[in-house]
Amino acid sequence: MGVRVGIVGFRGYSGAELVRILERHPHAEPVPMEHRGDSGGACPAAVPCSPEAVKDQQLAVVFLATPAEASLELAPTMLDAGARVIDMSGAFRLGTPERYARWYKTTHTQPNWLAEAVYGLPEFCRSRIPQAKLVANPGCYPTAANLALKPLLEAGVIDRAAGIVCDAKSGVSGAGRKPSLKTSFCEVTENFSAYSILHHRHVPEVLMTAGLEEHEFSFTAQLIPIHRGILETIYFRGKNVKSAEDLLAIYCERYASEPFLRIHATGSIPDIHAVARTNFCDIGVVYDGASGRAVVVSAIDNLTKGAAGMAVQNMNLMLGLPETEGLL
Amino acid sequence: MGVRVGIVGFRGYSGAELVRILERHPHAEPVPMEHRGDSGGACPAAVPCSPEAVKDQQLAVVFLATPAEASLELAPTMLDAGARVIDMSGAFRLGTPERYARWYKTTHTQPNWLAEAVYGLPEFCRSRIPQAKLVANPGCYPTAANLALKPLLEAGVIDRAAGIVCDAKSGVSGAGRKPSLKTSFCEVTENFSAYSILHHRHVPEVLMTAGLEEHEFSFTAQLIPIHRGILETIYFRGKNVKSAEDLLAIYCERYASEPFLRIHATGSIPDIHAVARTNFCDIGVVYDGASGRAVVVSAIDNLTKGAAGMAVQNMNLMLGLPETEGLL
Amino acid sequence: MGVRVGIVGFRGYSGAELVRILERHPHAEPVPMEHRGDSGGACPAAVPCSPEAVKDQQLAVVFLATPAEASLELAPTMLDAGARVIDMSGAFRLGTPERYARWYKTTHTQPNWLAEAVYGLPEFCRSRIPQAKLVANPGCYPTAANLALKPLLEAGVIDRAAGIVCDAKSGVSGAGRKPSLKTSFCEVTENFSAYSILHHRHVPEVLMTAGLEEHEFSFTAQLIPIHRGILETIYFRGKNVKSAEDLLAIYCERYASEPFLRIHATGSIPDIHAVARTNFCDIGVVYDGASGRAVVVSAIDNLTKGAAGMAVQNMNLMLGLPETEGLL
Amino acid sequence: MGVRVGIVGFRGYSGAELVRILERHPHAEPVPMEHRGDSGGACPAAVPCSPEAVKDQQLAVVFLATPAEASLELAPTMLDAGARVIDMSGAFRLGTPERYARWYKTTHTQPNWLAEAVYGLPEFCRSRIPQAKLVANPGCYPTAANLALKPLLEAGVIDRAAGIVCDAKSGVSGAGRKPSLKTSFCEVTENFSAYSILHHRHVPEVLMTAGLEEHEFSFTAQLIPIHRGILETIYFRGKNVKSAEDLLAIYCERYASEPFLRIHATGSIPDIHAVARTNFCDIGVVYDGASGRAVVVSAIDNLTKGAAGMAVQNMNLMLGLPETEGLL
């Protein structure tokens, strides 16, 4: 019998992916939690999203697959009731109320919990996760970007002064399940469009984690007419680096013991099919030694490594389970 | 009764689009020409692709919607038979045999015609087209890039030293009609993939037309799971420019009398739906004055403005017809 | 200068298609009419949907591209103000209040206009349309079914006792532009689903026009993950008929002077690509003489022949213009 | 350590699905076998498709995910070398050389093995599979049809004289991985088309298994622009049956202990999303008691229950393993 874990927002795309993963997890027992405002068919198995339910159901962890506004309200409640919380919204990712106010255009109502939250990117924050009460599960776009950029920035092979471009593309599930004209079939099929150019809410997660200044980083989000998957094409100028192999060697060394990173050999470039429905992040590189032009392609599934898979990876770390449990 | 014009390669996607446009053109009468090696159902209306047919059919212009190898052989034949030629392949675009050899990895067999060919981008080469015997119709990717970049480069508002990134995405028809695994439905649907990173054959057309050095320009081609349309997201650092409005003003002035350029107002970004099945190129801009980060989005239909529509625009110029005839 | 015609619901998919067709129409001048409850961006060119606007704008015809409830209210108002009305909803198609009440589950509030309305299927009701004040433009599914079935039923070659099956598939635009989970991209892509089996509101239009009893006709509507287009596969047992050619001959004779009907030769079957963005209805037949099993495939574009194109065809008839004006 | 099983045709869509399933199977160890004529990248792990390899690799079972012509040649070779064979082509499904000659338009070269082969539809042929040397894995379309029709035919509730219609739709992977114009992205996207009307090779599998005469059964195959999944809409007249519940009760009783059949409650209809990437067959019913019109909807994943999943189900039976092993 496994650890009981609650899921708020289980009808959304990330929440449903979480249920799918946890149902196959050998050591977790998912409990759907009904939150007022949820729409969708009845779910007889659901318990109310309340402090009482946390205790009655003996929930060790509660996942919040909810919008930031709901998470701001629910996280403290669930934490006070004794559960540890993995929040999949942007509510607790940005460290300071000032940064949150700037990018989310509203005041943060839980600054203490914001300060205490641990950013749940295991590849770079693994040590702090096992003891965390509140984990801020990373955004989908930042995950693909940070996993591609941070090893190279740490190795000092990117000419930051020349600027970094991250051209990001996502499947439509990234916009959530709530119906809108923007995500209607007829508006999306046979189309491709850009949005939130330079101003996407996910930008500060890259700046904070990769250690970049805003003026060094140009980011565009774009909608692909597919269900799930993210591909980011990242451009920069190399520094002290001669070949694609040099860059690949940095990744291979940094990620040698990472279970969810796959580095492509020279000449091979990731695509979305290879990562769909997996928790992998695939990375490939093209480099022109003469000019220093570098292109890195990073691909993940936005619902798995970009959301629910990462959340389970964090849960495994919090519960002292093998990190890959339920994810391979 | 209109001018008779031949179409070689009328079964391909660009060729079929050409037929579709010309059938509605008030002053042209399309004649399909059957080229050995063509596959597809019988076309009783087709004449052989021969010098005799050029004369018998009184063809003023012959469109070659054929691969570069076929165009290298057919263009001189059609020209010698008295027709003017609009070639839609890359055979005659690159000006010198050396450049062709480098990017197409093979020797150019018609250096004289290569030297004489006129690059058919009316917005920047209009004066030379009316007298041209052989027009090299531009590539689809370079058209979207050149129309976005050249006015700004001419105005000196791009910091070339910092490099320009062009992240290009195309519908699958850009790869032609010949079946291949790469363009099979099951490989493309729910996928997104990059190819020819930094090394695409279309790169030199941008370098030549926009007047850039290769080391200044990073280009990636990518496949969107849609039938037709190109969207390019272009990144650079601004120079002597304060706002998006400054950049838009340059476009608006340069393109004031261009019938096929539409410049979006600040805050509005082009998408593929708006240009599909049209000869328009839509351009929009986002700019961060503090850092100089600029993002320009340029959208066309790869089969129309990127191929057949542009070819008809060139034909109109060659025949002294209104440039927009049959294209609005 | 053309006849001025109003369009209510111009932001919906059918309404936008109507605008697109009328903008190219040589003898009509479309005027968008703003109806309370419309959502979407501002349209400065729009006039209010009011009796005054009908007079001020001298509107000869008003198209209602609105839901049945709105049409029930707007049609009498526009008619009383002196315009003729082409209603694209189901409000005035069913002839009697009883039939309407049964299939639309609500009381018809305009029984007099219902009785007076002319069903706008020109191929079978052409004589009554020129004088009609109120034309009920046919539903998309019934149009494809009636054009396929009625000539054969009139010729007496269908064994009605054995029953007729109509398996219908439609693109998503048929469900309208209003966002809903059912038409969200992620719910539709890579899916295929049936709905309203045996009970679709469009069924009575087939029964009335083709002259069938409900028990003789089995109808299923299904959603294809495409933007536009309808394909219906119709099954029955032949009577007094030996071959596919016999059936095709009936169509060819009946539709000899119809501009929008295309009958496929034996062995050739229509698909949606061939009719998309056209006002054609394509029909093909397979027949097994030994057993009498017949399969007829009928394809249209739901937004054109199934809605806006048909509406313009009706307008042309009402205004005494050539029936194909603006539609070829 | 598991039973070693060979896979010929592992690069095709069905073969790749087989590898995917078997890699997670706790008791099987898949061995890719390289067959001359295969195209695709090198697979270092592959062994030759030869009698020697069967022995050297100690292969208990060989799966043939190959076209019928290849299977006709390979099955006897693998069988003679001592392996048991599960053939996923149509080569050994039709029982007699006469039937094969009629539907496959060619002579059967292995009539003895044809006679000995067991049709691998466990829900109806389970008893013969454990001892079978050669299992003919069923076609994808017949599986969805037989699972829907056979219980009702056995119960005598279908009026066979009135005829049965099976309108079938499949994702593009059903056509195999070999590139062709018909399965090219641009030909399929935004399209829907019918093929092999009344004459599909899969028809005899339904006639044989369900016990129908050809004149009683009308079948159309159609291509949906999706990767994987089949939905069949089946029409007939009920006999001695009053309601949908009566039909559902027959299914529920017949399939009470079947692990892969899911019967929908009244009012609920299967779709493709729910069965994609699973080995389930979902069935739903609409019935009009007054007229006897019945519509049954049956959905499977053509690559799983319609091919590789069914093949593993058969393998489990042949090896005495739990039938659901590796499939839930």
Low-confidence ranges of chain A (pLDDT < 50): none
> Catalytic pick from D49, D125, D140, D166?
D140
Q: Which pLDDT score, from 0 to 100, does residue B40 have? A: 74
How far apart are the C-alpha atoms of D202 and D196, rounded to whole Å? 10
Per-residue pLDDT band at C145 (split at 50, 70, 90): very high
Which strand (E) or helix (H) includes residue C76? helix C68-80
Min Cα distance A64 → chain D (Å) is: 25
What subunits make at least 3 CB pairs under 8 angstroms with C?
A: A, B, D
Q: CA–CA distance from D201 to each of D140, D175, D206, D215, D270 (Å)?
A: 11, 13, 10, 15, 25
Q: Where are the domains of chain A?
A: 3-137+306-318, 140-302
Per-residue pLDDT band at C42 (split at 50, 70, 90): confident
Query: What is chain B's length?
Result: 328
Residue D41 has pLDDT above 90, yes or no: no
Q: Quick: pLDDT tens for A44-89.
A: 889 999 999 999 999 999 999 999 999 999 999 999 999 999 999 9
How far apart are the C-alpha atoms of C197 and A321, rounded to whole Å? 49
Q: Which pLDDT score, from 0 to 100, does residue D42 have? A: 83
**Which DSSP category does D139 fall into?**
P
Q: Which CATH class is domain D140-302?
A: alpha beta
Count of C–D CB contacts within 8 Å? 135
Per the CB < 8 A criterion, the answer to whether B135 and B87 are in contact is yes
Q: Which pLDDT score, from 0 to 100, does residue A179 have? A: 96
φ/ψ bin of D83: left (φ > 0), alpha (ψ from -120 to 50), beta (otherwise): beta
Q: Quick: pLDDT tens for B132-183.
A: 999 999 999 999 999 999 999 999 999 999 999 999 999 999 999 999 999 9
Across the range C21-47, mean pLDDT stands at 89
Nearest-Å Rg of the Cα atoms of chain A is 19
Per-residue pLDDT band at B87 (split at 50, 70, 90): very high
Nearest to A62 by CA among A44, A51, A322: A51
**Which DSSP category does A40 fall into?**
S
How far apart are the C-alpha atoms of B262 and B274, rounded to whole Å? 11
How far apart are the C-alpha atoms of C14 and C4, rounded to whole Å? 19
Across the range D228-232, mean pLDDT stands at 98
Chain C CA closest to residue D190: C226
Q: Which two tokens stand for residue D167?
A: 């309108």
Which strand (E) or helix (H) includes residue D87? strand D84-87
* Interchain CB distance below 8 Å, C186 and A225: no
Per the CB < 8 A criterion, the answer to whether C18 and C41 are in contact is no
Q: Which two tokens stand for residue C155?
A: 């010729």
How far apart are the C-alpha atoms of A35 and A54, rounded to whole Å? 13
Equal CATH topology for B3-137+306-318 and B140-302 = no
Q: Which pLDDT score, from 0 to 100, does residue B1 have? A: 65
Please report residues of A whose CB lies closer than 8 A to that of C189. 172, 185, 189, 225-227
Q: Which two tokens stand for residue D314?
A: 């058969």
Which strand (E) or helix (H) includes residue C294? strand C293-300
Instruction: Count the neighbouring beta carbons within 10 Å of the beta carbon of residue B217.
Output: 22
Please report residues of A whose CB lies closer than 8 A to that of C183. 179, 184-186
Q: Is A44 exposed, middle or buried (0-12, 13-18, 19+ CB in 10 A)?
A: exposed
Residue B37 has pLDDT above 80, yes or no: no
Which strand (E) or helix (H) includes residue D218? strand D217-223
Chain A CA closest to residue C172: A186
Q: Quick: pLDDT tens for D260-317.
A: 999 999 999 999 999 999 999 999 999 999 999 999 999 999 999 999 999 999 999 9
Interfacial residues of A (vs B; Cβ cutoff 8 Å):
162-163, 165, 167, 169, 171, 187, 189-195, 197-198, 214-215, 218, 220, 222, 224-229, 231, 233, 235, 237, 269, 271-273, 276, 286, 288, 290-293, 295, 297
- Report the residue from A162, A225, A231 with minimal CB separation from B225: A225
SS (H, E, C) chain D: CCEEEEEECCCCHHHHHHHHHHHCCCCEEEEEEECCCCCCCCCCCCEECCHHHHHHCCCCEEEECCCHHHHHHHHHHHHHCCCEEEECCCCCCCCCHHHHHHHHCCCCCCHHHHHHCEECCHHHHHHHCCCCCEEECCCHHHHHHHHHHHHHHHCCCECHHHCEEEEEEECHHHHCCCCCHHHEHHHHCCCCEEECCCCCCCHHHHHHHHCCCHHHEEEEEEECCCCCCEEEEEEEEECCCCCHHHHHHHHHHHCCCCCCEEECCCCCCCECCCCCCCCCEEEEEEEECCCCEEEEEEEECCCHHHHHHHHHHHHHHHCCCCCCCCCC
Q: Euclidean distance between the first and final Cα of chain C, in Å?
A: 20
Please report residues of A whose CB lies closer than 8 A to that of B220. 167, 233, 295
Please report residues of C whose CB lies closer than 8 A to that of A180. 179
Q: Which pLDDT score, from 0 to 100, does residue D1 have? A: 65
What is this model's ipTM?
Answer: 0.97
Phi, psi of A109 (to 5 degrees): -95, -5
D140 among known catalytic residues: yes
- Tokens 């003891």 belong to A131
Average pLDDT taken over every residue of chain C: 97
Residue D72 has pLDDT above 70, yes or no: yes
* Assigned superfamily of C3-137+306-318: NAD(P)-binding Rossmann-like Domain (3.40.50.720)
Q: Quick: pLDDT tens for A201-250.
A: 999 999 999 999 999 999 999 999 999 999 999 999 999 999 999 999 99
How far apart are the C-alpha atoms of C102 and C99, rounded to whole Å? 5
Q: Quick: pLDDT tens for D98-132.
A: 999 999 999 999 999 999 999 999 999 999 999 99
* Interchain CB distance below 8 Å, B185 and D172: yes
**Which DSSP category does D114 fall into?**
H
Spell out the residues 6+ positions from residue A192 whose beta carbon is closer than 8 angstroms to its own. Answer: A222, A223, A224, A225, B169, B224, B226, B229, B231, B271, B272
Percent of chain D residues past pLDDT 90, beyond the cut: 96
Instruction: Count the neighbouring beta carbons within 10 Å of the beta carbon of residue C295.
Output: 25
Nearest to D212 by CA among D257, D162, D258, D175: D162
Count of A–C CB contacts within 8 Å? 57
Please report residues of D whose CB lies closer than 8 A to that of C273. 187, 190-191, 193
How far apart are the C-alpha atoms of B327 and B27, rounded to whole Å? 12
How far apart are the C-alpha atoms of B279 and B310, rounded to whole Å? 7
Q: CA–CA distance from C170 to each of A229, B85, C75, C219, C294 (Å)?
A: 27, 43, 27, 13, 22
Spell out the residues 6+ positions from residue D98 whose beta carbon is closer than 8 angstroms to its own. Answer: none
Residue predicted with more confidence, C41 or C247: C247
Give which of B17, B185, B224 to mutate to test D binding, by max D Cβ within 10 Å: B185
Q: Quick: pLDDT tens for B213-247.
A: 999 999 999 999 999 999 999 999 999 999 999 99
Per-residue pLDDT band at B83 (split at 50, 70, 90): very high
- According to DSSP, the residues that pair with C238 across neighbouring strands are C158
> Catalytic pick from B43, B49, B125, B140?
B140
Nearest to D294 by CA among D166, D124, D136: D166
Query: What is chain D's length?
Result: 328
Residue predicted with more confidence, B39 or C73: C73
Instruction: Count the neighbouring beta carbons within 10 Å of the beta carbon of residue B120.
Output: 28
Per the CB < 8 A criterion, the answer to whether D94 and D117 are in contact is no
* Interchain CB distance below 8 Å, D193 and C227: no
Helices and strands, counts by H and E, chain C: 11, 14
Per the CB < 8 A criterion, the answer to whether B59 and B31 are in contact is yes
What is the pTM for the complete model shown? 0.97
Per-residue pLDDT band at C41 (split at 50, 70, 90): confident
- Identity of the amino acid at D264: H
- Report the residue from A193, A215, A273 with minimal CB separation from B291: A215
Average pLDDT taken over every residue of chain D: 97
